């Protein structure tokens, strides 16, 4: 069978035997200082079949190459994803099956591919990227247990770029990058405690002092100790999240901001009520604490 390695002639020669030759200087695993060596073609064929099924948007065949755990956890996502595409094309540049006798790597072949991926959705959107993908093929089941991907995005993509959109401030027009340092989880947890009217729990989300700009434009400073008394005059609250969008200025430290759209219903003990759609802008410091809040709101009128 024609060799599946689309790499240099030297590597092809070294991998051509039925039992691949060990290469002592092929990179070591830190845990045991054991060398990587080439595997056989069978696991590469499994990965090539997966890619063929992917390019054909054949979800059933695609999933048949993965183990039960992967299918159980990912079937719905894969089927839905495939149904959204008009065409996909993953072009392989090289494929490299590797083995290692280290404790963490036994019982599986690590198949690495380098490829170009082009996707077109039924809604007309298009996306391109270069990839380094790694598949883990179990020796016993001959099924893929999982994979991970490193990507280099095409700068002409309509979406999916690592950054985009101008951030305007007094001295800067940098681009915005999505942030993922727990900002979303902080807001989700904050809203839960807010709805419980647990003022004592709120302090953990905020810096020592928080700058607040209200819907009317008033500017306040709230000390951390003041959150405990936040609900002294409140009878009931219902805060429902609608959208959360975290971001930071590209190529800067991890300080970030987050836009939150929500509905907010409140009844005070004196009988006054509020029912609004709210737009909040939270700012986080490098320690992941909220340092400032600005918001706008508009009333939700009866239908």
**Cα-flanking dihedrals φ and ψ of residue 242, to 5°?**
-115, -50
Residue 177: which of 189, 166, 190, 188 has the closest Cα? 166
Edge-first strand order for the sheet with 234-249 is 164-166, 175-178, 234-249, 256-268, 273-284, 290-299, 206-213, 219-223
Would you say how long the chain is, in residues? 303
Q: Which domains does the chain have, with CATH numbers?
A: 9-153 (3.10.450.50), 175-299 (3.10.450.50)
| Residue corresponding to tokens 């993953």 | 90
Structure tokens at 159: 């979406």
Cβ burial, residue 106 (10 Å; 0-12/13-18/19+): exposed
Is the whole model's pTM more than 0.75, yes or no?
A: no
Sign of the torsion formed by the C-alpha atoms of 116, 120, 121 and 123: positive
Sequential DSSP letters for 196-253: TT-HHHHGGGEEEEEEEE-TTS-EEEEEGGGGGGTTTTEEEEEEEEEEEEEEEETTS-
Structure tokens at 258: 């987050």
Q: Whole-angstrom Cα distance, residue 63 to residue 49?
A: 11
The tens place of each residue's pLDDT in the chain, 303 residues long, gives: 444 333 333 333 333 333 444 444 444 445 556 788 888 889 999 999 999 999 999 999 999 999 999 999 999 999 999 999 999 999 999 999 999 877 888 899 999 999 999 999 888 888 899 999 999 999 999 999 999 999 888 877 777 667 777 777 666 667 788 888 889 999 999 999 999 999 999 999 999 999 999 999 999 999 999 999 999 999 999 999 999 999 888 777 788 899 999 999 999 999 999 999 999 999 999 889 999 999 999 999 988
């Amino acid at each position: 069978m024609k060799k599946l390695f689309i790499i240099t002639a030297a590597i092809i020669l070294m991998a051509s035997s039925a039992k691949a030759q060990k290469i002592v200087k092929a990179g070591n695993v830190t845990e045991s200082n054991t060398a990587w060596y080439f595997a056989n073609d069978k696991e590469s064929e499994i990965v090539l079949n997966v890619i063929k099924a992917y390019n054909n948007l054949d979800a059933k065949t695609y999933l048949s190459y993965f183990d039960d755990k992967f299918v159980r956890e990912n079937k719905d996502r894969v089927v839905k994803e495939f149904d959204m595409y008009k065409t996909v094309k993953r072009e392989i540049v090289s494929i490299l099956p590797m083995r290692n006798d280290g404790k963490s790597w036994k019982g599986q072949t690590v198949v690495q591919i380098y490829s170009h991926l082009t996707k077109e959705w039924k809604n007309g959107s298009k996306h391109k990227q270069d990839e380094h993908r790694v598949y883990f093929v179990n020796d016993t089941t001959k099924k893929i247990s999982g994979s991970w991907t490193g990507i280099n995005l095409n700068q002409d993509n309509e979406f999916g770029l690592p950054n985009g959109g101008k951030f305007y401030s007094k001295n800067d027009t940098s681009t915005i990058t999505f942030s993922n340092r727990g900002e979303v989880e902080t807001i989700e947890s904050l809203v839960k405690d807010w709805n419980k009217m647990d003022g004592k729990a709120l302090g953990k989300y905020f810096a020592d002092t928080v700058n607040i700009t209200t819907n009317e434009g008033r500017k306040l400073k709230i000390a951390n100790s003041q959150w405990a008394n936040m609900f002294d005059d409140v009878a009931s609250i219902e805060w429902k999240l609608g959208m959360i969008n975290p971001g930071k200025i590209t190529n800067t430290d991890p300080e970030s901001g987050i836009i939150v759209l929500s509905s907010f219903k409140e009844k005070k003990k004196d009988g006054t009520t509020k029912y609004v759609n709210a737009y909040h802008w939270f700012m986080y410091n490098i320690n992941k604490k909220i340092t400032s809040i600005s918001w706008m709101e508009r009333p939700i009128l009866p239908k």
